[in-house]
Amino acid sequence: MKFKDNFRLGVASASTQIEGGRVNSNWNWFSDQDKITDHSNVERANNHYELYAQDLKLMAHMGIKDYPFSIEWARIQPSENNFNSDALVHYRDMILEMKELNIHPILTFYHFSHPMWFEEKGAWTKKENIIYFLRFVAKCLDVFGDLVDEYITINEPNVYAVNGHFFGVWPPEKKSLSETIKVMSVFALAHIKAYELIHTIRNNRNFTNTKVSFAHHVRDFATNSNSYLDKNIASLFKSLFQDKLTNAMFLGKFDFPLDNYGKVKQGQYIDFIAINYYTRTTVKNLQEGFMDNCYKNDLGWEIYPQGLITVANELYSVLNVPIYITENGTCDNNDQFRNRYLFDHLEVVNQSNLPIERYYHWCFIDNFEWAEGESARFGLVHNDYETQKRTIKHSGHFYSQIIKEKGISEETYEYYVKNQHYHK
Ligand code: BGC
């Protein structure tokens, strides 16, 4: 397999999952309540806040040149009226280090974590709170907006809304459908405002090439029966989980039940489609289930590469702009099938005629997997949490080889992929 000329590969991360340290965020609060399945605490993670230079060197050593990462709002703005200049300088230095190593940064402003003072104001349940997010964005642009051209405003608004406000398995542990829908509306509005703000600030400073989007977690939805009811339920889930947000956040089209609070004109609010794709959801007997005999990863998620192209086609039909796969990866605790997973997903991407320009693997180093804590490993690099020693996995070597070859040669396939198999 040979990739198209302009195709770029990289790795993705999120501050809370790697940095470690004590900040007053919703995730520090949540793990302090001993809510994490394996009783780990986000305070440890990868200690990347201190070890970032070493980690970036490792990335460069592996040939990785593209990197979406996020910054920690609670660290930068520990209280409503206080921006921490050390933290801002830290992130500026970190981005400079990336540039020094020829690593192209994409900056994410919000990836599931925020300061507790924001939580106490009602966080994303109130449209009046969007202003706090915009102030944070503007401050960061002041300090390092000259160094970064590409931005993700918000990562996976639907995942945060559903886990935190519908299933109640993430902070703030709410279980309310109406609140979930409200949070989605507020996120969509916040994205649009941030999209406009980032462009305005960068234009005023005469920076060109600004590109802004949000990372959309999208799934393929199917049914495991011919039941008419199941089909209807699947399309209802799909519409509420992702399609309504697509229209709102790509185009400013807020359809019921989302609400734009009279504040948005229809237009174009993304410069590229950012897709986070992991799995397919199958409806059976009116609830979430699985396809018969499907392959699963170590968290029990179906492995279904073709779904990536189905969702990419759908999103591209809504808006014809370039596509970046901003996250794709799998929980494979013993690194036994990650190479096959990588191969199968890259193969469907490469065979597609869609303008898919980038692929970012989730993730670089095993990290703090939210409610699963340290127990779920997604990394190309192994982390020993006790010693913080990083070791490149077999899949990490494979990924370096893919980047080097700009494709996957037959020998590379034989060596890394051929003998790997998924499990059911
Ligand atoms: C999130 C990541 C997470 C990954 C694997 C994505 O939905 O953006 O933060 O670690 O999935 O669960």
- Using alpha carbons only, give the angle 87, 88, 89 rounded to the nearest 5 degrees: 90
Measured in Å, residue 348 CA sits from the centre of ligand 1 at 21
Structure tokens at 45: 């993670």
- What's the confidence (pLDDT) of residue 141? 98
Site to probe by mutation for ligand 1, drawn from 299, 327, 368 as the one with most ligand atoms within 8 Å of Cβ, is 327
Q: Which residues contact 308 (CB under 8 A, 6 or more apart)?
A: 275, 277, 325, 328, 345, 348, 349
Q: Nearest to residue 113, comparing CAs of 248, 174, 23?
A: 23
Please report the atom of ligand 1 found closest to the CA of residue 329. 5
Please report the atom of ligand 1 found closest to the CA of residue 156. 8
- What's the confidence (pLDDT) of residue 15? 98
CB count within 10 Å of CB 45 equals: 27
Alpha-carbon torsion, ordered 46, 47, 50, 55, to 10 deg: -10
Which helix or strand (DSSP H or E) is residue 403 part of?
Answer: helix 394-405
User: Cα(274)–Cα(196) distance, rounded to whole angstroms?
Assistant: 17
Q: Please name the residue ranges forming H helices in 83-227.
A: 85-100, 116-120, 130-144, 157-161, 177-204
On the CB side of 159, CA atoms within 13 Å amount to 18
Please report the atom of ligand 1 found closest to the CA of residue 155. 8
- What's the confidence (pLDDT) of residue 225? 86
Measured in Å, residue 14 CA sits from the centre of ligand 1 at 9
Structure tokens at 19: 């940095």
Give pLDDT < 70 ranges for the chain: none
Tens digits of residue pLDDT in 96-110? 999 999 999 999 999
Q: Which residues contact 79 (CB under 8 A, 6 or more apart)?
A: 115, 117
- What's the confidence (pLDDT) of residue 289? 87
Q: How many residues does the chain have?
A: 424
Measured in Å, residue 371 CA sits from the centre of ligand 1 at 11
Measured in Å, residue 195 CA sits from the centre of ligand 1 at 22
- Do the Cβ atoms of 9 and 403 come closer than 8 Å? yes
- Do the Cβ atoms of 38 and 373 come closer than 8 Å? yes
Q: What single string gives the DSSP state of each residue in 90-106?
A: HHHHHHHHHHHTTPEEE
Please report the atom of ligand 1 found closest to the CA of residue 363. 10
Residue 412 amino acid letter: T
Report the predicted TM-score, pTM, of the whole model to 2 decimal places.
Answer: 0.97
CB count within 10 Å of CB 367 equals: 28
Q: What is the 8-class DSSP label of residue 365?
A: B
Measured in Å, residue 112 CA sits from the centre of ligand 1 at 10
Which residue has its alpha carbon closest to ligand 1 atom 10?
Answer: 369
Residue 250 amino acid letter: F
Q: What is the 8-class DSSP label of residue 84?
A: -
Which residue has its alpha carbon closest to ligand 1 atom 9?
Answer: 14
Q: What is the 8-class DSSP label of residue 379?
A: -
Give buried/exposed letters for 242-270 (b at 16+ CB in 10 A, else e): bbbbbbbbbbbbbeeebbbeeebeeeebb
Q: Nearest to residue 117, comparing CAs of 127, 129, 109, 135?
A: 129
User: Cα(285)–Cα(136) distance, rounded to whole angstroms?
Assistant: 45
Phi, psi of 406 (to 5 degrees): 50, 40
Measured in Å, residue 148 CA sits from the centre of ligand 1 at 23
Cα dist from 347 to 1, 309, 339, whole Å: 7, 11, 12
Q: Nearest to residue 75, comparing CAs of 125, 128, 148, 136?
A: 136
- What's the confidence (pLDDT) of residue 263? 79
Q: From the CA atom positions of the chain, what is the Rg in Å?
A: 20
Which SS3 state, helix, strand or coil, does residue 154 take?
A: strand
With 0-12 CB in 10 A as exposed, 13-18 as middle and 19+ as buried, what is 387? exposed
Q: Please tell me whether the peptide bond between 363 and the residue prior to it is cis, using omega within 30 degrees of 0.
A: yes
Q: Which protein residues touch ligand 1 with a CB less than 6 Å away? A: 14, 17, 155-156, 159, 217, 276, 327, 362, 369, 378
Q: What single string gives the DSSP state of each residue in 130-150?
A: HHHHHHHHHHHHHHHTTT--E
Tens digits of residue pLDDT in 140-151? 999 999 999 999
């089209």: which residue's tokens? 253
- What's the confidence (pLDDT) of residue 125? 98
Q: 108: alpha, beta or left, given left = phi > 0 and alpha = psi -120 to 50?
A: beta
